[in-house]
């Protein structure tokens, strides 16, 4: 029958709120010590020669279904770069087999299709003085994990010349669903 609560002599079922797993989980990315131009649709990462995939650990139980409700992107910089625009987060249920590095053109090759879960448009950073910030709410994107982690590529939407060693901190908010 489940858990009930007695109110005025009658038993009413207690409905539990969604379990929040991985809520507020942040990952820090420090890009390489270079100022190589990002083209539109380039991957932002920590290294050019190895995978720039981000891992959000403990997003849910093995094989669990989660609903991503929000995403934030903090950029530890004091000003927008002239042509810097929006960002996008491409999602995967395993480390993307493509192993794209920083500044690689994002693509969905045949080898990545089975693990691809779609994307979240993050929008354009807002200048908050010493920090750039994007907050995206009401995403309501449902995904099924294979393990306990969710993987992603952070990708530019417009071309710009980044500063060396710039730090990006994407954060996901998600709840476990049935």
Mean of the pLDDT values across residues 165-178?
A: 92
C-alpha–C-alpha distance, residues 61 and 44, integer Å? 28
What does the angle CA 73 – CA 76 – CA 81 come to, to the nearest 5 degrees?
A: 90
pLDDT digits (tens, 9 = 90+) for 72-122: 999 999 999 988 999 999 999 999 999 999 999 999 999 999 999 999 999
Query: For 19-177, CATH number?
Result: 2.60.120
Q: Does the CA dihedral 47-122-120-20 come out positive or negative? A: positive
State how far the Cα of 131 lies from the Cα of 108, in Å rounded to an integer: 31
130-166 pLDDT, tens digit per residue, is 999 999 999 999 999 999 999 999 999 999 999 999 9
| DSSP states along 69-135 | EEEEEEE--SS--TT---EEEEEESS--TT---TTPBP---GGGGGGEEEEEEEE--EE-SS-EEEE
User: CB–CB of 147/37 below 8 Å?
Assistant: no
User: Residue with structure tokens 């987060």?
Assistant: 89
Q: Where are the domains of the chain?
A: 19-177
Torsion sign, CA atoms 112, 117, 123, 127: negative
Per-residue pLDDT tens over the stretch 40-71: 999 999 876 678 999 999 999 999 999 999 99
Distance CA 174, CA 18 (A): 9
Could you tell me the pTM of the whole model?
0.86
CB 95 within 8 A of CB 151: yes
């Amino acid at each position: 029958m489940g858990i009930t609560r007695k109110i005025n002599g009658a038993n009413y079922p207690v409905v539990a709120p969604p379990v929040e797993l991985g809520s507020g989980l942040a990952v820090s990315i420090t890009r390489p010590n270079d100022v190589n131009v990002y083209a539109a649709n380039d991957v932002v990462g920590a290294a050019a020669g190895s995978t720039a995939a981000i891992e959000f650990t403990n997003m849910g139980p093995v094989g669990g279904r989660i609903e991503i409700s929000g995403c934030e992107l903090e950029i530890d910089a004091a000003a927008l770069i002239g042509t810097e625009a929006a960002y996008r987060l491409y999602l995967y249920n395993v480390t993307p087999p493509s192993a794209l590095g920083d500044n690689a053109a994002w693509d969905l090759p045949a080898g990545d299709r089975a693990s691809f879960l779609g994307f979240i448009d993050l929008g354009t950073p807002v200048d908050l003085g010493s920090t750039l910030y994007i907050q995206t709410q009401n995403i309501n994107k449902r995904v099924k994990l294979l393990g306990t982690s969710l993987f992603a590529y952070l990708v530019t939407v417009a071309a710009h010349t980044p500063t060396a060693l710039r730090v990006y901190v994407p954060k996901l908010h998600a709840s476990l669903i049935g």
